[in-house]
Amino acid sequence: MSKIDDFISHLVSGSQEDLDKESFAALVPTFLYSCQPYFTYLESTARSSAPQPSYIRSGLLDFSQQLCDRLEQLVLTCASYNLLCLDETKPDSVSHFYIGQCHTSRLKLTMFWYCKPMPFQARANTGLYKRMRWNVERLGDDEHYFLCYEDVPKVQTEDNIDRQDGDGDGGHGNVERMWSIGLWVQVNPDPDTEDIYDWILCEVPEAKYMKLLCLGSEEPSTCIATDLLLGLLLSQETTGKDGSASPDCT
């Protein structure tokens, strides 16, 4: 991770006139790509079915989280200097990066981290923001799961009303951020269409968000979120049930 620190230090301390923006902008995506084998090793080894001491698993996942955090800081720092674009509707966007892959007997799960929360629909703000994506391959199907949040109205009680009156926050305390894991459900183009032109003519696919797990107001780490999703997927294999919303999410 010292290379990441060197990148950030050079960017922050260097003169904007002396900085070769084009070279630096091209270097960062290449560096992100070069980190992929490390993420693959960390996640696949930590989540292997082979017996291993718990401290080894936790150590590998902790290092994976640290690497993810440092790369996010690098990308956000570059974006703050207008060296990178985070708008995922743009072809040169660096809105997210790969953070690992793991396998079970019946599925392959690939993980991606968004450098900052992005609207669930790339060109429509529905109030739902994605933070992490998992591509899941199982039984010949490809599925896309997301870690998302949305700001929802707080349930008003006498206690939090009194706190809001005392804070003088102008009403911002009336909402709270709630996290969940859900499934991308394709709407447009129709996933069952056999007309390839429906896909060619569609600039940005549209989907609904099927909420499967409600996680509360605290943002989970990448490790915890992935553990929760894997638990859900493995339970579906055991029970034979497909994705459906948790009773707590209705």
Structure confidence by residue, pLDDT tens digits, 3-12: 777 777 777 7
The per-residue pLDDT for range 150-170, each reduced to its tens digit, is 999 987 665 555 555 555 444
CA-CA distance, 205 to 199, in Å (whole number)? Answer: 8
CA-CA distance, 164 to 161, in Å (whole number)? Answer: 5
DSSP per residue, 70-119: HHHHHHHHHHHTTSSB--TTSTTB--EEEEEEEE-SSEEEEEEEEEEEEE
Per-residue pLDDT at 14 exceeds 80: no
Start-end of H helices in 109-209: 158-167, 196-200
The whole-chain average pLDDT of the chain stands at 84
End-to-end Cα distance, the chain: 42
Domain definitions of the chain by residue range = 1-94, 104-250
Q: For residue 74, how far is the Cα from the chain centroid? A: 17
